[in-house]
Structure 1
Amino acid sequence: MNHETSRDLYDRALSVLPGGVNSSVRATQPYPAFIERGDGGHVIDADGNRYIDYVMGYGPLLLGHDLPESVRAAIQSSMSDGPMYGAPTEIEVELAEFVARHVPSVEMLRFVNSGTEATVSAVRLARGYTGRGKIVVMQGGYHGAQESTLVAGDAENARSSSPGVPQTFAEHTIPVPFNDSEAIEEVFETHGEEIAAVLTEPLLGNTAGVPPVEGYHEQLRELCDESGALLIFDEVMTGFRVGGLQCAQGKLGVTPDLTTFAKIIGGGFPAGAVGGPAEILESFTPAGDVFQSGTFSGHPVAMAAGLETLRYAAENDVYDHVNRLGKQLRTGIADIVSDRAPGYTILGTDSMFKLVFTRAGATDIDEACIPGYRQTPDSDCFDHCPKTGADVESAETDRWDRLFRPAMKEEGVFLTANQLESQFVSDAHTDEDVEQTLEAYKEFFE
């Protein structure tokens, strides 16, 4: 493949954009492909190279790049009426009503502009509602570029994970290993009366989709109930992708106090939301005293895109299609690596998938990790499946980043920028796309 135009664009970008990109995850070796346009389940770069796209905007594009006519018409109608108003519109009410009908924990929503803004607002709301200051987060979890969660270390030695984040923020954040029942018990024994909330993803989407061990989220729910803390599910990634319209919480059968949304809820446009019971949400201004506001919040174009995307998904068997293809990819890749790269692990569920270059995974296809909503101790793969973000981070990330991803790109398969990011199937992907993808995986492992 020829990549000269992307290389030249990257050279220009380095002069005017820090690192040549506007989001650090877009920086790939030796330089990123600059995308010119999307086409169904594919993207075409500035050099005319065509790829099967499993980045899908890092999750928002449930329907792919070619929007159905009903979604496109709703977006165009909203845009033709005017870009935005700084005043309420009916469409934001309709989207809130749709979400409240389908997501078990949600009675009310406050719309914002991104996943980061949603988690920032949820943390502030939890602190304001409980009158407490500490937030428990999962090591390897990701909740956007916000000071309260850019924290590394452990419960006893939390530290900011980025220059520019004062250490005082880390003093109010308690990182614990995901899936570690003993660690979370100890934290609540020591800090229970200080904890405003536990903030967790249903699965660790930014460490390849590590699923929870059976009973772990139920334990979090019980500990929060006993201590008076709130349980916050970050469903920015899983919302309206894992578990369909009821989201991951509905599939898991665990009801959080607050939920953060973004990605699919905006249908490919910038949007996010915090949802939960009216009693808690009405602590936001102007109903309550916890300040939250935003010029572009509830932007009518994003609201129209999100609502029509969800309506289309509900009426057209989208989840059956994307989940079927996701399963084909996971099982097909598992079969390939069992013969050629024993020890590697497949993660993901529903329309999410990821191959992780683990160093000591299952070596037999019958024991290979069978991705799903939970890890069950009585399954053959339990001992091999990663349990924490550290388990994924200790895998062969350089080999994945420097060898595997570029090789797949040359085979016409566009994967996320590194081994840690989940990959996504859209409604626009086809069985032929999956077959071509599996052939590319075979080619690499020959």
Structure 2
Amino acid sequence: MNNDRSRALYDRALSVLPGGVNSSVRATLPHPVFVDHGDGGHVIDADGNRYVDWVMGYGPLLYGHDVPEPVTAAIQSAAADGPMYGVPTEIEVEHAEFIARHVPSVEQVRFVNSGTEATVSAVRLARGHTGRDKIVVMQGGYHGAQESTLVEGEPGAQVPSTAGVPEEFAEHTLPVPFNDPDAAREVFDDHGDDIAAVLVEPILANSGIVMPVDGYHETLRELCDEHGSLLVFDEVITGFRVGGLGCAQGKLGVTPDLTTFGKIVGGGFPVGAIGGRADVMEGFTPAGDVFQAGTFSGHPVAMAAGKAYLEYAAEHDVYEHVNELGRRLREGITDICAEQAPTYTVVGTDSLFKTVFTREGPIGGDLETCCPAGCTQDPDCPRYDYCPKTGADVARAETDRWERVFRQEMTDQGILLTGNQFESQFVSYAHTEADVEETLEAYKHAL
């Protein structure tokens, strides 16, 4: 596979872009693939190489690179009317109405410009609503590039996870392990009167895809209710991908007070949103006293794209198709791992999939009773004690082997995966059974 032009573009990029990229996860080894254009479930790079694309823009591209005609028409019409106005438009009202009709927690919506901006605003709103400063986050969770959540460690020993974040920010952030109800109870016992919110991905989707154990989110809901804190679901990744139009909260049956969105909700354009209970949401200015504003918020082209994206999914078999292909992928990879890498854990749900290179697995036993299509945290599964339950469990896997050997081998075989062991991979409506079979054959060789 010839990569001369991608290498040359990366060499040029290193001179004018820090690290040669505009988002850190794109700096893959030995150099990034520079994409020229997309085609359905595939991308073609600058050298003319064709790949089955499971990155899908890191989640927004529910329809792949061939957008359905009604979506294209909506985007072109909005763009033709003018790029933006700085005043309200009808389309942002209609888009908010659609979201509020379908997502259990949402009564009102505030649109912003990215998932990061959505979580920043949700944290500020929770603090303003409760009059408290501290937030609980999950170790290994990710909520965008914001100071309040770029924190690691544990309560009492938390520190910024990156240079540039003052230690004073970390003071108010309490990281606890995902799927550990005792740790959640303990942090509320120690700090309950000061906790404004628990901010959690319903499924850890930036840590190899970790499903919640039975009852975990119900415990968080009860603790928040008991202590007057808000439960905030970060559905930037899972929103309108897991659980269909009801999102992950609908699938899991737990209703948060606030939800953050991004990716799919903008139809592939830059967008974010916060939705939730009206009495909380009305804390935003001008209704309340929590300041939030943005020049490009509710951008008419992004609103038209997002609304048409979701309406098309409501009227067609989009989720049936992507979820079925996701199941086939995970089942196929599970069978391959059982033969070639039995300690590895296949994870994912709906249209998400990943293989975590876990170092240990069950010895003996009837492995045919293991979760067949991705870990569901089933206590009766022989792998239950070995499958990842926290972000730390994923970090202890063979992450370097995944990134330095496996992913590069898959790329050489024409399969484009996300840049590291931690990021989710995504099925789109444009993918086919042939794409699944090609990917499984590449897995057999790469593992």
TM range (shorter): over 0.9
Deviations 1:276-315 (A, max 9, x none): 0110000000000000000000000000110001011111
Other-structure match for 1:156: 156
Task: State the distance in 2 between where 1:9 and 1:431 align.
Answer: 33
1:271 corresponds in structure 2 to 271
Provide the C-alpha distance between the structure 2 equivalents of 1:37 and 1:139, rounded to a whole number of angstroms.
36
SS of corresponding position for 1:111? strand
Task: Tell me how far 1:181 sits from its aligned partner.
Answer: 1.1
Q: What residue is the counterpart of 1:386 in the other structure?
A: 388
Letter aligned with residue 110 of structure 1: R
Contact 1:234 1:260 in 2 (8 A): yes
Any conservation in 1 of the 2:209–2:347 contact (CA below 8 Å)? yes
Tell me the TM-score normalised to structure 2 length: 0.98
Map 1:329-348 onto structure 2 (within 5 A): 329-348=329-348
- Map Cα deviations across residues 396-415 of structure 1 (whole Å, 9 max, x no partner): 01110010001001111000
Question: In the alignment, which residue of structure 1 is the partner of 2:51?
Answer: 51
1:123-144 CA-to-partner distances (Å, cap 9, x unmatched) read: 0000000000000000000000
How far, CA to CA, are the matches of 1:62 and 1:164 in structure 2?
A: 35
Q: Is the 8 A contact 2:155 2:187 kept in 1?
A: yes
The one-letter code of the counterpart of 1:406 is Q
Conserved 8 A contact 1:214-1:374: no
Q: Give the letter aligned to residue 328 of structure 1.
A: R
RMSD: 1.1
Q: 8 Å contact 2:112–2:271 — kept in the other structure?
A: yes
- Distance change (3 Å), C-alpha of 1:373 and 1:291: farther
Q: Which amino acid aligns with 2:441?
A: E
Mapped partners of 2:9, 2:62: distance in 1: 28
State the Cα deviation string for residues 141-163 of structure 1 (Å, max 9, x = none). 00000000000101120100111
> By how many angstroms is 1:184 displaced?
0.7
1:413 is matched with which residue: 409, 415, 420?
415
Structure 2 residue ranges without an equivalent (≥5): none
Cα-to-partner distance string for 1:67-110 (whole Å, 9 max, x where unaligned):
01100000000000000000000010010000000000100000
Structure 1 residue aligned with 2:203: 203
> How is 1:3-18 mapped onto 2 (pairs within 5 angstroms)?
3-18=3-18
Q: How does 1:14-413 map to 2 (within 5 A)?
A: 14-362=14-362, 365-370=367-372, 374-413=376-415
Q: State the Cα distance separating 1:374 from its structure 2 match.
A: 4.8
How far the C-alpha of 1:375 sits from its partner, in A, is 1.9
CA contact (8 A) 2:328 2:373 kept: no
Distance 1:284 1:359, change over 3 A: same
Aligned partners of 1:369 and 1:382 also within 8 Å: no
| Corresponding letter in the other structure for 1:347 | V
Check conservation: 1:344, 1:362, Cα contact below 8 A.
no
Q: State yes or no: 1:427 paired with 2:429.
A: yes
Which deviations, in whole Å up to 9, do the C-alpha atoms of 1:315-352 show, x marking residues without a partner?
Answer: 11100000000000001000001011110000110000
Q: Per-residue deviation at 1:366?
A: 1.8
* Cα distance in 2, alignment partners of residues 312 and 384 from structure 1: 40
CA distance in 1, matches of 2:295, 2:117: 13
Percent identity over paired residues: 71
The SS at the match of 1:404 is helix
Secondary structure in structure 2 of the residue aligned to 1:11:
helix
2:376 and 2:133 map into 1 onto residues whose CA distance is 31
Asked whether the 8 Å contact 2:334–2:374 carries over to 1, the reply is no
In 2, are the aligned partners of 1:334 and 1:365 still within 8 Å (CA)?
no
SS in 2 for 1:36: strand
Contact 1:134–1:194 (8 Å) recurs in 2: yes
- Aligned partner letter, 1:46: A
8 Å contact from structure 1 (residues 369, 384) kept in 2: no
Q: 1:279 to 1:373 in 2, by over 3 A?
A: farther
Paired residue type of 1:357: F
Contact 2:346 2:374 in 1 (8 A): no
Contact kept? 2:371, 2:378, Cα under 8 Å: no
Unaligned runs of 5+ in 1: none
Q: Structure 1 residues 27, 408: CA separation in 2 closer, same or farther (over 3 Å shift)?
A: same
Deviation at 1:383, TM superposition (A): 1.4
| 1:436 has 2:438 as partner | yes
Conserved in 1, the CA contact under 8 Å of 2:353 and 2:424?
A: yes
**CA distance 1:273–1:16, change in 2 (3 Å):** same
Residues 343-365 of structure 1: CA distance to partner in whole angstroms, max 9, x if unpaired? 00001100000011100034664
Are residues 104 and 223 of structure 1, via their aligned partners in 2, closer, same or farther at CA, if it must alter by over 3 Å?
same
Identify which range, 422-431 or 373-382, moves more after superposition: 373-382
CA-CA distance at 1:367 after TM superposition: 4.8
Please state how far the C-alpha of 1:215 moved relative to its aligned partner: 0.2
Q: TM-score, normalised on structure 1?
A: 0.98
Shift of 1:264: 0.2
Q: 1:372 to 1:101 in 2, by over 3 A?
A: farther
Q: Which amino acid aligns with 1:392?
A: V
Given that 1:362 and 1:368 are in contact with CA atoms closer than 8 Å, whether structure 2 keeps it comes out as no
Aligned equivalents of 2:338 and 2:362: distance in 1?
Answer: 8
Residues 343 and 361 of structure 2 are in contact (CA less than 8 Å); yes or no, is this contact kept in structure 1?
yes
Specify the code of the residue in structure 1 equivalent to 2:226: E
Q: 1:373 & 1:383 partners in 2: Cα distance? A: 11
Aligned length: 445
- 8 Å CA contact 1:366, 1:380 repeated in 2: no
Mapped to 2, the partners of 1:411 and 1:380 lie a distance apart of 33
CA distance in 2, matches of 1:331, 1:384: 19
State the alpha-carbon separation in 2 of the partners of residues 109 and 366 from structure 1: 45
- Aligned mates of 2:370, 2:42 — CA distance in 1: 30
The DSSP-based 3-state class of the residue aligned with 2:206 is helix
